[in-house]
Amino acid sequence: MNAVSPTSTAAEGLAGWIAPGRTAVVVIDMQVDFASPSGVLGAFIDMSVVEPALAAAEKLVAEARAAGVPVVFVGLSTTAETDSPAWNERMRRRGGDPDVDAALCRAGEVGSEFYGPKPLPGELVVLKTRYSGFVGTDLDMQLTKLGVDTLVVAGLTTECCVGGTVQDAFHLDYHVFVAADACAAYEADIHEASLKVMELNSAILTDTAAIADAWKGAA
């Protein structure tokens, strides 16, 4: 499969591919525990690494709203009951303590709140318990109700929940575009490698500026 670069997706054609009326923006796991210095991971990860992606995602969401493109927020929301035996055993085999290390984005706690771009009243919010936004949720049904066949994806982290959701979206026959500058991993090489994998297999890479220009051109 021929890869498409962010530069080439900004060329003629993008406006039709991500036109309002067929497209939704999906923001994945931009939450306190994953993005804020005060979140669980902020205790041992320098969260400045994700700040550019948060800013780009805020711009992407603003541009989507201005263009009449629906924005969907997907977030992790866990409980002790949703931490399955397989989930916990993997943690143990890696030397962790499931009672401590698995407690990310607990339902009803500050860590699960959205951070950076936030949903407005009436916007769709889908809560999940696994990496992919499509596993154990009604995301596919809700997108079908919106009448979209194309997704522009942003979020955290590139190699994990973004990658898992993008792959499942492609398997469900959505046309998938990834706003590369509005995604981040905690290590630059992992981010770049994950983008390359998505580009090769399941998505077209673009960036926030190209998307904004396409929507303005379609207005």
Q: Which residues are catalytic?
A: 29, 128, 161
Find out whether 142 and 72 touch, Cβ atoms under 8 Å: yes
Q: What are phi and psi of 18, to 5 degrees?
A: -115, 30
SS (H, E, C) 140-165: HHHHHHHCCCEEEEEEECHHHHHHHH
Contacts of 159 (CB under 8 A, 6+ apart): 185, 190, 191, 193, 194
Pick the closest to residue 60 from 46, 73, 42, 77 (CA basis): 73
Q: Verify cis geometry, omega within 30 degrees of 0, for the bond prior to 7.
A: no
Q: What is the dihedral of CA 86, 87, 88, 94, to 10 degrees?
A: 100
